[in-house]
Amino acid sequence: MPSLRIYYKSVLGLRCLQSRLFSSSSSVKEDNRQLLKAGTRYLSEDTIERTRKNVELRKLYIDFDHLVGEYHKYLQLQERISDLEHEKKRASEIISSTTIDNEKEDMIYQVRQLKSKLNDLKAEMHPVEKSFIHNVSFLPNNIHPDAPIGHEPRLVEYLNKKHCRDFTPLDYKELGKRHDLFDIPSAAQCSGEGFYYLKGEAAVLELALIQYAMSKAIKNGYYPIATPDVIRTHVADRCGYQARSGENQYYLLANEDKCLSGTAEIPLAGMYLNKNVLYSDLPIKLVAFGRCFRVETGGRGRGEGRLYRVHQFSKVELFGLTANEDRTESEELLDEMVALQKEINTELGLHCRVLDMPTEDLGVPAYRKFDIEAWMPGLNRYGEVTSASNCTDYQSQRLNITYRMKDVPVSKYKTCPDWKYVHTVNGTACAVPRTLIALLETHQKENGSYSLPDVLGVKL
């Protein structure tokens, strides 16, 4: 695609990234400071009841009263430590200034006593702070006032009309058998349940979908990125996907604090960890192809089909960073992402419905979310093929991603008061397995063959 360089110009602001680097000895303290700052803003006098209501509306399993109790204990210990450190500092100043031996000896003894008390308090604080930081990290983002309350989504619109047929459509499993497109048994022997081989035309179709979605995104101003599939667990945690939570969402690497990426959103956000960008470079729009690895819990997804919910799949992901000057920038980018998703699914000839997702279906980082579900005639139901979420400053506060109007030397970072947190927005351009299911079942013919949309450029 020789013309792609033209589309890169609008996002070359990536080269203006400036990183706030921390030494290894201070990085843990800095990480904890960011999590505390991000979490405690939901527990202030002005926000605590709204947060409690937010947790209830999302039906999250959080012991909110216990968390508030931990917070108060943390504040009390912090205040006592601060008071003792102030006393110790004053006593040390007296030691430095006095010339009276008896007075100096008394102050030295007092400093020793204060040090001992401080050590005891800090030892008491350590488990309290560790537990509080862990628990507060599960608090969710705020909720958009227009988000539907409860578990029922709001229908926004339909895309394309349902295909009228004079025959009973086959599901993708039967189509796969007829055309030798999948090999599930061999994948189960090789990798276990929840994995698959795509064969022949299905393998070509996966590549065509990836190329098509990447090209559509690039033509709409998204900058292409190839991301790592292995990420540090604390990056996933800070994005709002607790890799070490009880839900066990991700595959953890043995003997390392790392996991396999569940979505390219995480490494794309992690690329900006502890970085600041210029206002003039925003919005920054990125697109990445990645493999997604997910450990499903319990019996979730069983009976939906062997390709519908899997442990590994290919996905093209959209990701953006915006400013927050007029409180509309991230909502505008969310609308833009949904418009691109609608365009992609419309061109693929899929009958879809666009849904404004309810509070009980919002992910922890999501302020608002729209899903697009494609009609799968063989399965005789709709299935989610794309999702788009506005995470406002939830992720950026935890990842420490900021912007300001003018550039500032690195030496001024800690003293500059003008940093503002960016907003992050993410969305699916194409999740291959489910899109493949919808394509095969939608474009099948009465004789069991199928066709594909011209936009994919695939000739069978």
pLDDT of amino acid 21: 46
Both tokens assigned to 186: 């061999």
For the residues 281-304, what does the mean pLDDT come to?
Answer: 77
Report the SS3 class of residue 353: strand
- Same CATH topology for 25-136 and 154-456? no
Residue 259 CA to residue 228 CA, distance in Å, equals: 11
pLDDT of amino acid 101: 64
Residue 94 CA to residue 104 CA, distance in Å, equals: 8
Residue 171 is classified by DSSP as P
pLDDT of amino acid 108: 80
pLDDT of amino acid 29: 63
Among 60-69, 170-179, 247-256, 447-456, which stretch is predicted with the lowest mean pLDDT? 247-256
384 is in an annotated binding site: yes
Q: Domain locations in the chain?
A: 25-136, 154-456
348-405 tens-digit pLDDT: 999 999 999 999 999 999 999 999 999 999 999 999 999 999 999 999 999 999 998 7
User: Of the ranges 105-119, 131-145, 311-325, which is most confident?
Assistant: 311-325
296 is in an annotated binding site: yes
263 is in an annotated binding site: yes
312 is in an annotated binding site: yes
pLDDT of amino acid 417: 58
Higher pLDDT, 304 or 276: 276
151 is in an annotated binding site: no
CB 220 within 8 A of CB 6: no
Residue 302, pLDDT > 50, answer no
Q: At what angle do helices 64-97 and 48-58 cross, to 10 degrees?
A: 140
Question: How does residue 13 score in pLDDT terms, banded at 50, 70 and 90?
Answer: very low
Residue 411, pLDDT > 80, answer no
Both tokens assigned to 87: 């006393």
129 is in an annotated binding site: no
Strand positions, DSSP E, 245-330? 258-260, 275-278, 284-293, 312-322
CATH number belonging to domain 25-136: 1.10.287
295 is in an annotated binding site: yes
20 CB burial (10 A radius; 0-12, 13-18, 19+): middle
User: Of the ranges 25-34, 83-92, 133-142, which is most confident?
Assistant: 133-142
Residue with tokens 């349902």, as numbered in its chain: 162
Architecture of domain 154-456: 2-Layer Sandwich (3.30)
Residue 229, pLDDT > 70, answer yes
pLDDT of amino acid 408: 56
| Cα-trace Rg, the chain | 26
Sheet with 18-19, side-by-side order of all strands: 18-19, 275-278, 402-404, 420-421
Residue with tokens 């960011």, as numbered in its chain: 34
For the residues 23-28, what does the mean pLDDT come to?
Answer: 47
Residue 300, pLDDT > 50, answer no
317 is in an annotated binding site: yes
For the residues 213-242, what does the mean pLDDT come to?
Answer: 94
Encoded amino acid at 51, one letter: T
